[in-house]
Amino acid sequence: MNVLMISPGYPTEINYFTRGLAVQGARVFGIGDQPERDLPDLVRRHLAGYLQVSSLLDEAAVVKSVQQWKAAQPLKLVECLWEPGVILAARLRHGLGVPGQDVAQATLFRDKDAMKRAVVAAGIRTPKHQRATTAAECQRAAEQIGFPVIVKPIAGAGSADTFRVNSRLELDAVLSRAGQMREMNVEEFIDAEEYTFDTVCIDGKIAFWNICVYRPRPLTARQEEWISPQTVVLRDVEADHLAGGRDMGRAVLKALRFQTGFTHMEWYRTAKGETIFGEIAARPPGARTVDAMNYASDIDLFSSWAEAVLHGRFSHTLDRKYNSAIIFKRAQGTGNIRHIEGLERLQARFGPHIAAVELLPVGAPRRNWILTLVSDGFLVVRHPDLQATLDMADAVGTDLHLYAG
């Protein structure tokens, strides 16, 4: 089966999904805006062909280029696990006449306002929200909803360019930094713990599901550089306090008529136990969360997703063995990494419970922590007991230090 993969080598985890398609028997053709020689070796080894385009954002031009490129060798599927390319994938399916999520369905997973309206129509609790296309509309929406509010792009990805705004003065500052006004979603701030509901679906039925909790919630983690954010994959997904999220996740998928592939939903649980929808994307969770999910169950979700989309089955037997936590580290200082402190002590202390270490090496330039949650690297820890997992994750947060200079 010939499959087109949009952006086969970016972000990093897409490398492994590309490999998964090939391992499951597909001939994978990639399309991206970088030269083929710049793709990771892992990706190049698993591609049957590659088309470079000037910009993946010029959807009409991309559709025309792909139609001309593969006219003699029809493609059977178009896949995209990179959020900015979800609508492009739908337009390519239409242009090539292949099955899969269409533009109308894809829009519900990209347009946060349309998404919430569809979810509300299904009777699911969401934050109060309004669409805004001008600064004046943002200000009016915030006053009607009531401060604090969250301001985010209508077609944003994750928590990028998302702000908690506590007053009219703060809103004016956010709008001035935003520059040229884009479509924005202004919504009620929910004071709560933040969880995920992640799935692999086949023909509208859930074949695999997962729940994570963020520590702290992503919006907080993006505000303070000293924080070492954690995403914790929970072993006991059937716990009573998670029932609202489980039920909501299934109801949202039904309301949005999702069929086959990966989804990533975020939801809130308040101190009073109320469950509130956050948002959902037609893609896997980012920031290497799939790696943490794999370590929690000794599973290969990259290949299992490919099996689902190619063959309509999910044959891996799921055994939830561990809780796992991925902890992201941000170096202190600017410039290049010059010293890593505490790693050997943590390895000696926790030994086999450290499942993965991926830190920038000494000499590498540190990354911009505002632009990437992965920041300057991460550790994954795992343990059957949740509290033991959280204790190890907190120790990584406090005792591991990267210094730049």
| Amino acid identity, position 120 | V
Show the low-confidence residues of the chain (pLDDT under 50).
none
Where do the CATH 3.40.50.20 domains begin and end in the chain?
A: 2-100
Which two three-digit tokens encode residue 214? Answer: 């963020």
pLDDT at res. 167: 92
Q: How far is CA 294 from the centre of its chain?
A: 15
Write the CATH number of the domain with boundaries 191-321: 3.30.470.20
- Confirm or reject CATH 3.30.70.3450 for domain 323-405, answering yes or no: no
HSE-CB at 308 with a 13 A cutoff on CA atoms is 26
Fold for 128-188, please state it. Dna Ligase; domain 1 (3.30.1490)
Where do the CATH 3.30.1490.20 domains begin and end in the chain?
A: 128-188
What share of residues in the chain are helix, strand, coil (percent, to 5)?
35, 25, 35
Residues shown for the chain: 405
Which two three-digit tokens encode residue 320? Answer: 């939830």
User: Is residue 105 classed as helix, strand or coil in its secondary structure?
Assistant: helix
Give the number of other Cβ atoms within 10 Å of residue 134's Cβ.
12
Supply the DSSP symbol for 365. Answer: B
What is the Cα–Cα distance from 154 to 160, expressed in whole angstroms?
12
The pTM for the full model equals 0.92
Strands 184-188 and 163-165: unpaired
pLDDT at res. 175: 84
127 CB-near residues (< 8 Å, 6+ apart): 116, 150, 187, 188, 189, 190, 276, 277, 278
Where do the CATH 3.30.470.20 domains begin and end in the chain?
A: 191-321, 323-405
CB 263 within 8 A of CB 282: yes
Give the number of other Cβ atoms within 10 Å of residue 371's Cβ.
9
Q: What is the pLDDT of residues 60-100, one digit of tens each?
A: 999 999 999 976 678 999 999 999 999 999 999 999 999 99
pLDDT at res. 24: 98
What is the Cα–Cα distance from 58 to 237, expressed in whole angstroms?
41
Write the CATH number of the domain with boundaries 2-100: 3.40.50.20
pLDDT at res. 163: 86
Cα–Cα nearest to 128, from 175, 189, 38: 189
What is the Cα–Cα distance from 327 to 284, expressed in whole angstroms?
18
User: Is residue 214 classed as helix, strand or coil in its secondary structure?
Assistant: strand
Residues 271-294 as b/e (b if ≥16 CB within 10 A, e otherwise) read eeeebbbbbbbbbbbbbbbbbbbb
